[in-house]
Amino acid sequence: MPDLPEGLTTRPLQRSDAHDVFVLMAAQEQEDIGHVAIEEADIVSDWAKPSHDLGARSIGVWDGDTLVAYAELMGADRADTSVLPSHRGRGIGTWLAHWLVDLGRSLGSSVVGMPVPQGSPGDRLLEELGFRVRWTSWVLKLPESATIPERALPEGYVVRTAGPDELRAAHDVLEDAFLEWSVRDRETFEDFAAATSGRPGFEPWNLRVALDEGGAVVGVSLVLVSDDGATAYVDRLAVRRDQRNRGIAQALLVDSFARGREHGTRTSELSTDSRTGALPMYERVGMMVDHVWVNRGIDLD
């Protein structure tokens, strides 16, 4: 494993480091994609998940009192890293990649991967280190001037705010759908709660559900509002397998866009990837690709 540049120090991250990690990630995103997409609440809610052992699965790199890089591994293979743009080209990213590979091997992971903006310095570095593209992700945006299209539900169906007694059903719909194409362990309800109702700034209206004529949850949309109040981000969207191709997903999207505008947002965003096949559906409701990410991974066999 290569050495870090002289003068830098490392230690595992603590929950009190969330703001410093946010500042670091925001600087990297501003450099790589021209704006900041990460929210501090994203980090706080991830670190609040009972399954995540932050102390054992993270590392921060400091130059004096400034956090200049970090890495963490959540679950079996989901890594996140960031290097302050002013500290690129010093071998820190290479060191973090080796640290993640060693950690993954020690935990018995078969692969470790992470998302990076396509064509960014991080993308090029991982390619040089032998990380292959596992899938491509698109961040789509609904233009501010776009008219939100109407989408009818099947007769007897409704979309509304999830009630407290519907959270577990919503979680089941999301996990059943996502595990059709995502190779990972099933998320616990406690982790789901930390990322939704436990997320800083969460309001009940953020979790939307589609109900059939019998009142069963058959679709879910989680809508998060950016800190500046300008963007409604559809963080998760899923419809039960036996209820698909009936317009429910599009109706949930339209509802999410409309509720976001009711709460002062000007535009809406979401992300999808090449494993889902959902890109054409989002384009049909007027969304446009804003930027592209790739998930690069390396096999640990």
Q: What three-state secondary structure class fits 53? A: coil
How deeply is 70 buried, as exposed, middle or buried, from its count of CB atoms within 10 A (0-12, 13-18, 19+)? buried
Q: What is the pLDDT of residues 243-254, one digit of tens each?
A: 999 999 999 999
Q: What is the pLDDT of residues 15-36, one digit of tens each?
A: 999 999 999 999 999 999 999 9
Q: Say yes or no to pLDDT of 163 above 80.
A: yes
What pLDDT does residue 182 have?
A: 85
Q: Say yes or no to pLDDT of 285 above 90.
A: no
Taking every pair of Cα atoms in the chain, the longest distance, rounded to a whole number of angstroms, is 67
Q: Say yes or no to pLDDT of 147 above 80.
A: no
- What is the CB neighbour count within 10 angstroms for residue 142? 27
- Nearest of 28, 26, 32 to residue 291 by alpha carbon: 32
CB-CB contact of 2 with 95 (8 Å): yes
What pLDDT does residue 281 have?
A: 84
Q: What is the pLDDT of residues 219-239, one digit of tens each?
A: 999 999 999 999 999 999 999
What pLDDT does residue 85 have?
A: 97
Q: Which string of DSSP letters, residue by residue, matches 252-301?
A: HHHHHHHHHHHTT-SEEEEEEETTT--HHHHHHTT-EEEEEEEEEEEE--
What pLDDT does residue 148 have?
A: 74
Chain centroid offset of residue 71 CA? 16
Give the Cα separation of 225 and 234 in Å (integer). 9
- List, in sequence order, the alpha helices (H) in 196-271: 248-262
Q: Could you identify the residue written with the tokens 């989408």?
A: 151
What pLDDT does residue 92 have?
A: 98
Model-wide pTM > 0.85: yes
Starting at the edge strand found earlier in the chain, the sheet holding 111-117 runs 8-11, 58-63, 66-74, 78-83, 111-117, 288-299, 132-142, 267-273, 231-239, 217-225, 207-211, 158-161
Q: What is the pLDDT of residues 75-126, one digit of tens each?
A: 889 999 999 999 999 999 999 999 999 999 999 999 999 999 999 999 999 9
- Taking phi over 0 as left and psi of -120 to 50 as alpha, with beta for the rest, 107 belongs to alpha
Give the Cα separation of 102 and 270 in Å (integer). 33
Spatial neighbors of 207 by CB under 8 A, at least 6 apart, are: 161, 162, 167, 170, 196, 197, 220, 221, 222, 223
Give the Cα separation of 298 and 101 in Å (integer). 8
Q: Say yes or no to pLDDT of 205 above 90.
A: yes
What pLDDT does residue 258 have?
A: 92
Look up residue 228 and give its two tokens.
């500046």
Strands (DSSP E) contained in 91-180 are 111-117, 132-142, 158-161
Give the Cα separation of 265 and 270 in Å (integer). 14
Q: Determine the average pLDDT of the residues in 48-73.
A: 97
Q: Determine the average pLDDT of the residues in 151-168.
A: 96
